[in-house]
Structure 1
Amino acid sequence: MIEARGLTKRYGRTVAVNGLTFTARAGRVTGFLGPNGAGKSTTMRMVLGLDTPDAGDVLVDGEPYRRLRDPLRTVGAMLDATWRHPGRSAREHLRWLAASNGIPDRRADEVLTLVGLDTVAKKRAGQFSLGMLQRLGIATALLGDPRVLLFDEPVNGLDPEGIVWIRRLMHALAAEGRTVFVSSHLLPEMAQTAQDLVVIGRGRLIYQGTMEEFVARTSEHGVRVRTPHAEALRTALGERGAQFTEHDGALVVSGMDSDALGELAFTAGATLHELSPITGSLERAYLELTREATEFTMEQQGAAR
């Protein structure tokens, strides 16, 4: 488990993280979201003891990172996949880290096999593609068989097969009772990966809870309907007091489910060519909730030109 309590970090006059409190639970994949400059990287660095908070604290399984006796056996992290000595092979890189933490050499080969790099274990890391470096970074995080894992943009450089692989890996790690904390800007992928969410903006907590609750509470829901008898359906909707808008030749009706709308259309004599529920999405919910926390929007960019 990761517990942040009132985390605050300043760089000069800039407040990067401001009184941030959240929990990432064991047995769950927690997505960490926020606009550029929201304080995500700073927060993850404070979790790992790389930055010292100006106020508040953060605990990993009940202890500050710097007090952990065997840090790699408790926490595994990938914040920068390009961090490695280019002249060392993948196996040498992992064995060097293993030796520094009292981890057997054989564990390096185990994690290389797990991430699909066993066939290039002797190849110099400087010759790796970005996707291979991502896999090596993930292997590094898994080296100590830790209970808590942090990943920053883990799918960068991975092909579609690799993206599915890392998603399944994170789900499997969480199913084993581990804490998986992952930051990413790829919202469609996060929607398929995260079970819980921590969303921040301008260093402050905006939302913490499940993915389902986040999408349901912040997004509009309705039913999209197309009919050649639109006027008849509009009249019936008006008599029912239903709210609707028109978009791309269709009516978008809120406050009614598909069954009720279909029955109303039948009664009104309106033939339906489309009747499809509009469900919430992570992307829509995220953009709605973080609109005021985005430092430089596309509208601002256009105005600046």
Structure 2
Amino acid sequence: MIEATGLTKHYGTTVAVRDLSFRVEPGRVTGFLGPNGAGKSTTMRMILGLDRPTRGEVLIDGQRYADLRLPLREVGALLDANWRHPNRSARNHLRWMATSNGIPDSRVDEVLELVGLSSVAKKRAGGFSLGMLQRLGIASALLGDPRVLLFDEPVNGLDPEGIQWIRTFMHALAEEGRTIFVSSHLLSEMAQTARDLVVIGKGSLIYQGTTDDFVHRATGRTVRVRSPQPEDLRTALTERRITFTEQDGALLVSDLTSAELGDLAFSAGITLHELSPQTGSLEEAFMQLTGESVEFRTGTPKEPG
């Protein structure tokens, strides 16, 4: 588990992170979201002891990262895929890391196989593509078989097969009871990967909870319903002051669950041909709830002439 309490970081007069508290539970993939400049990278660096908080603390299974005797066996992290010596082979890069924490060479070969780099294990990392570097970074994070894993933009440079692989792999790691904390700007991917979310803006917490609740809270809840008795259905909804709109011969009904709407129709003797819940997207919810926290805003292009 990762637990941050009152985490604050100042750079001179700039406040990068402000009184931030959250928990990342084991057995789940937790997404870490926020606009550019929100403080995500600074927070992840403070978790790993790379930056010292101005105030507050962050603990990993009850300990500061700096107090871990063999940190690679406790925490794995991918923050920068370019962090490697260009003249070392992929295998020697991992062997160098493994030696520092008493990890056997056999584990190096295991993680290279896991991430699909066995065939290029002896090649210089300096000649790797971005996707290959991402896989090497993931191998580095897995090296000590840690219970806690942090990934910053893990799918950068990966092809569709690689993206699907890392998504499935993170789910499998969480099912083993590990703590998985992932930061990404690819919201469509996070919607499929993260069960929970920590969302920040301008260094402060905006939301912590499940992904589904975040989307529902921001975009509302609607149910699409279609009936061969549309007038009766409109009347029943209007009499109960239930909000609805029309869409392609169906009604979009707000603030009722499918079960509640089905019960209402049944009690009014109305036949239904469709009853399907509609949810917004994570992208819509993110834009709505973080709109006031965007640091860099783009302008609207002017018409030529």
TM-score by length of 2: 0.88
What's the offset of the Cα at 1:42?
A: 0.2
Which residue number corresponds to residue 262 of structure 2?
A: 259
- Matched-pair contact (CA < 8 Å) for 2:199–2:208: yes
Which residue number corresponds to residue 47 of structure 2?
A: 47
What's the offset of the Cα at 1:64?
A: 1.1
- Matched-pair contact (CA < 8 Å) for 2:7–2:55: yes
SS of the aligned residue for 1:164 comes to: helix
Alignment gaps of 5+ in structure 2: none
Which residue number corresponds to residue 302 of structure 1?
A: 300
Q: How does 1:121-140 map to 2 (within 5 A)?
A: 121-140=121-140
Distance 1:261 1:163, change over 3 A: farther
SS of the aligned residue for 2:182 comes to: strand
Q: How does 1:109-128 map to 2 (within 5 A)?
A: 109-128=109-128
Query: How many corresponding residue pairs?
Result: 300
Cα deviations by residue, 1:15-51 (Å, 9 ceiling, x for unpaired): 1000011111122211111111110000000011111
Cα deviations by residue, 1:139-167 (Å, 9 ceiling, x for unpaired): 00011111111000111111121112111
Which residue number corresponds to residue 98 of structure 1?
A: 98
SS of the aligned residue for 1:302 comes to: coil
What's the offset of the Cα at 1:10?
A: 1.1
SS of the aligned residue for 1:177 comes to: coil
Which residue number corresponds to residue 24 of structure 2?
A: 24
Q: d(CA) in 2 for partners of 1:168 and 1:251?
A: 37
- Matched-pair contact (CA < 8 Å) for 2:233–2:265: no
Which residue number corresponds to residue 7 of structure 1?
A: 7
Q: d(CA) in 1 for partners of 2:46 and 2:77?
A: 12
- Matched-pair contact (CA < 8 Å) for 2:262–2:275: no
The answer to whether residue 247 in structure 2 is matched with residue 281 in structure 1 is: no
Cα deviations by residue, 1:183-238 (Å, 9 ceiling, x for unpaired): 11111211221122111111011111222332333331112357899777645543
Q: d(CA) in 2 for partners of 1:264 and 1:276?
A: 19
Distance 1:25 1:227, change over 3 A: closer
Which residue number corresponds to residue 200 of structure 2?
A: 200
Q: d(CA) in 1 for partners of 2:151 and 2:44?
A: 9
Q: d(CA) in 2 for partners of 1:265 and 1:116?
A: 59
The answer to which of 239-248 and 107-116 deviates more is 239-248
TM-score by length of 1: 0.88
Q: d(CA) in 2 for partners of 1:228 and 1:173?
A: 48
- Matched-pair contact (CA < 8 Å) for 1:236–1:264: no
Which residue number corresponds to residue 108 of structure 1?
A: 108
SS of the aligned residue for 1:36 comes to: coil
